[in-house]
Amino acid sequence: MITVERLSFTYPDGTKALRNVSLSIHSGESAGIIGANGAGKSTLVNHINGWLIPQSGSMTVDGIKCLKTNQETLRQKVGLVFQNPDDQLFMSSLFDDIMFGPDNLGIPREKSEAEAERLLREFGLWELREKPPSRLSQGQKRFAAFAGVLVMHPSVLVMDEPTSDLDPRNRKKLISLVSSLSSTKITVSHDLDFIWDTCRKVFIMNNGQIKAQGPAREILVNETLLEDNGLELPLRLQR
Ligand SMILES: Nc1ncnc2c1ncn2[C@@H]1O[C@H](COP(=O)(O)OP(=O)(O)OP(=O)(O)O)[C@@H](O)[C@H]1O
Ligand SMILES: [Mg+2]
């Protein structure tokens, strides 16, 4: 269970990015967070593994407070695929990047190497394993960041714009992969068709606040609500 209570966050330059956000997401649930550019979506989800620390209010994952002191525990539980893969990939080879998390946790190499290989093959990246991640294409980086998170088998998977940079076939591959995972899932995306396919519940953010929440298939068909929040109907529902 993820609980956010009256969470506010202001960046050092004075930008108020979150204003009193409260929400809860049950274990095993698949939730989408949508909203226009600058609504505060990334700021919100970047609190979940301790990357950002609440300035006021709180966030907890299964009762564990999202605080610096709990970062280690949180990172074993929560996998966050950042909006920008360059924030995530920093080792000198793709393979080392995937192994970084498991090595840090002291997982036996035989076990984690086999899992890393399985994921890299699944994402079509196995042949590229010796390459520095910085030399991968954008879509390859996106999948590499995913592999680095999935290799840890997180019980909560958070994805920030997972489909950006993916070609149509790889986008479909991601839909089936995400749908097959039983973890709690939080997806931030402008791709409302992806949200339609993978999320049961949706939160709309606007100007640092939660403006609406409900079943995905009620929120995503509500054209007026979407437009009021700077959004448009999913492509499949557009005339
Ligand atoms: N490092 C930062 N320093 C100052 N302001 C920031 C910083 N990062 C984000 N902001 C501001 O905080 C607000 C929320 O940004 P955030 O990245 O959370 O939005 P978002 O909903 O994820 O947008 P997008 O859909 O474009 O990814 C914006 O006004 C943005 O300009
Ligand atoms: Mg963002």
Residues 165-212: pLDDT tens digits?
Answer: 999 999 999 999 999 999 999 999 999 999 999 999 999 999 999 999
Closest atom, ligand 1, to C-alpha of 39: 21
What is the Å distance from ligand 1's center to 15 Cα?
8
Per DSSP, the residues of 79-105 read: EEE-SSGGGT--SSSHHHHHHHHHHHH
Strand (E) or helix (H) holding 137: none
Q: Report the residue count for the chain.
A: 239
What is the Å distance from ligand 2's center to 44 Cα?
9
In this model, does residue 44 exceed pLDDT 90?
yes
Instruction: Choose the residue to mutate in 16, 19, 41 for probing ligand 1, maximizing ligand atoms within 8 Å of C-beta.
Output: 41
In this model, does residue 76 exceed pLDDT 90?
no
The model's pLDDT over 103-152, given as tens digits with 9 standing for 90+, comes to 988 889 888 999 999 999 999 999 999 999 999 999 999 999 999 999 99
What is the Å distance from ligand 2's center to 75 Cα?
20
CB distance 233 to 226 below 8 Å: yes
Closest atom, ligand 1, to C-alpha of 46: 18
- How far from 42 is each of 39, 84, 149, CA to CA, in Å? 8, 10, 17
What is the Å distance from ligand 1's center to 158 Cα?
17
What is the Å distance from ligand 1's center to 208 Cα?
10
The closest alpha carbon to 41, from 29, 55, 30, 52, belongs to 52
The closest alpha carbon to 54, from 20, 87, 84, belongs to 20
Closest atom, ligand 1, to C-alpha of 190: 25
Check residue 99 and give its pLDDT. 95
Check residue 232 and give its pLDDT. 96
Q: How confident is the model at residue 75 (pLDDT cuts 50, 70, 90)?
A: confident
Rounded Cα distance between 138 and 143, Å, is 9
In this model, does residue 68 exceed pLDDT 90?
no
Rounded Cα distance between 157 and 79, Å, is 5
CB distance 119 to 143 below 8 Å: no
Check residue 37 and give its pLDDT. 97
Rounded Cα distance between 2 and 133, Å, is 32
End-to-end CA distance of the chain: 38
Its pTM stands at: 0.95
The closest alpha carbon to 121, from 100, 151, 101, belongs to 151
Minimal-distance CA residue to ligand 1 atom 3: 11
Q: How confident is the model at residue 54 (pLDDT cuts 50, 70, 90)?
A: very high
Minimal-distance CA residue to ligand 1 atom 29: 38
Q: Which residues line ligand 1 (CB under 6 A)?
A: 11, 13, 15, 17, 35, 37-43, 83
Check residue 50 and give its pLDDT. 87
All domains of the chain, ordered by start, with CATH?
Answer: 2-230 (3.40.50.300)
Average pLDDT, the chain: 94
CA torsion sign for 117, 134, 71, 78 is negative
Q: Which ligand is nearest to the CA of 82?
A: 2
